[in-house]
Structure 1
């Protein structure tokens, strides 16, 4: 299995090394390392190879870059794992994690079905928080051609995945619509602890942003009090 893990690392690195939205190889590497860290603090019995493979393949074909097609990620992951002759039971488990991992709106709750999936989902969400999360958010917003900030456009708590996918928002709104919600949606105790400091860093960044842009009286600034 170690050979398959190494081969998967090389495969993902080759596929995503030139990616510019913050979903690149270095994001994958951080999620992989966060997954290892969380595993070490998880008492539940688990399949280590499932966690490692799912962490490496979770963004191999993200629906956000494939016209909202949620089937493409699991399909590409399966094709790769089958080419490596991975056991079918492991393939099914990894592909289920890849399918379920994404955040799809404040009003949706896609619960992970296994401790392995919970670990990888937490590791992925940790990389959306803190200083790295801020940097990735602006990289993605620029790629999508989003307006940086518009005080007239208020954040929206999307009730369905379809609404979340189709809504064109601003980069600053993305913090309220997703990132500031993640701390309270972590699955594991280890990730919950790690998320606290990263979450607070984003809150302080946004406070500074609104102060410097002279929007301390805005609806956005007032919303921050709910996230402290």
Structure 2
């Protein structure tokens, strides 16, 4: 008997929680939960396919390449094997895999394929979790995980770096704001996503202003 949407989502949640139980704090289950919650809000607002958005948002960081020596094949293999246990329609399976395989920031510069509304929603939800107060916390968490200094005034580069440098470099975490975080507002796909991003973007600008003042010893 075919499973209901809610049954599939529930089983996916259990699978993802187990898969990410030892994940770095910025890419753990709570990141997934936030992305999922935001994606569901956008799905309701934009009348998108709940099953596609739910599964893509829940599964998108399973087997993330940056935690597997840059191997882009690990995630799709693990995710694909799990999805096959859910007896999805072929179209739904392909749609979910397409979103997950193409939605990341590191792939966005070279991606020129079609973005369904479901793709746009999941990508916006993931990007929203990369900015604002949570985005700042995640950036410093990942920087610490990678052993990066949080700031070096002699190495600040306000230009976006190449994807290979972005993934493997040891640049300070503050640089990451200019490499990625401050760019995301203008890369939102939906008006609903942009509205949320504008507030978070302003919060980051305020944080940077305060950070530089305190770095200089200005109270």
Same fold (TM over 0.5): yes
Q: What are the Cα deviations for residues 83-102 of structure 1, in whole angstroms up to 9, with x where unaligned?
A: 22222221111111111111
In 2, Cα distance between equivalents of 1:183 and 1:10: 32
Matched, 1:117 2:119: yes
Relative to structure 1, is the Cα distance of residues 159 and 172 closer, same or farther in structure 2, using a 3 angstrom cutoff?
closer
Corresponding residue SS for 1:110: coil
Matched, 1:42 2:43: no
- Normalising by the residue count of structure 1, what TM-score does the alignment of the two structures yield? 0.87
Match of 1:19 in 2: 23
In 2, Cα distance between equivalents of 1:14 and 1:213: 40
- By how many angstroms is 1:48 displaced? 1.8
Corresponding residue SS for 2:62: coil
Q: What are the Cα deviations for residues 195-219 of structure 1, in whole angstroms up to 9, with x where unaligned?
A: 1111111110111110000189xxx
In 1, Cα distance between equivalents of 2:144 and 2:101: 26
- Normalising by the residue count of structure 2, what TM-score does the alignment of the two structures yield? 0.90
Matched, 1:170 2:181: no
1:134-213 pair list within 5 angstroms: 134-155=136-157, 157-158=159-160, 160-213=162-215
Structure 2 unmatched runs, 5+: none
In 1, Cα distance between equivalents of 2:99 and 2:76: 8
Contact 1:155 1:174 in 2 (8 A): no
Contact 1:71 1:99 in 2 (8 A): no
In 1, Cα distance between equivalents of 2:81 and 2:158: 37
Q: What are the Cα deviations for residues 133-156 of structure 1, in whole angstroms up to 9, with x where unaligned?
A: 111111100001111111111226
Q: CA RMSD in A?
A: 1.9
In 2, Cα distance between equivalents of 1:105 and 1:152: 29
**Which range is displaced more, 23-32 or 67-76?**
67-76
Corresponding residue SS for 2:26: coil
Relative to structure 1, is the Cα distance of residues 151 and 9 closer, same or farther in structure 2, using a 3 angstrom cutoff?
same
Moved over 6 A (4+): none
Relative to structure 1, is the Cα distance of residues 48 and 105 closer, same or farther in structure 2, using a 3 angstrom cutoff?
closer
Q: What are the Cα deviations for residues 109-149 of structure 1, in whole angstroms up to 9, with x where unaligned?
A: 53562111110000000011111111111110000111111
In 1, Cα distance between equivalents of 2:61 and 2:209: 31
- By how many angstroms is 1:167 displaced? 3.0
1:60-71 pair list within 5 angstroms: 60-71=62-73
Contact 2:161 2:179 in 1 (8 A): no
Match of 2:60 in 1: 58
Structure 1 unmatched runs, 5+: 217-228
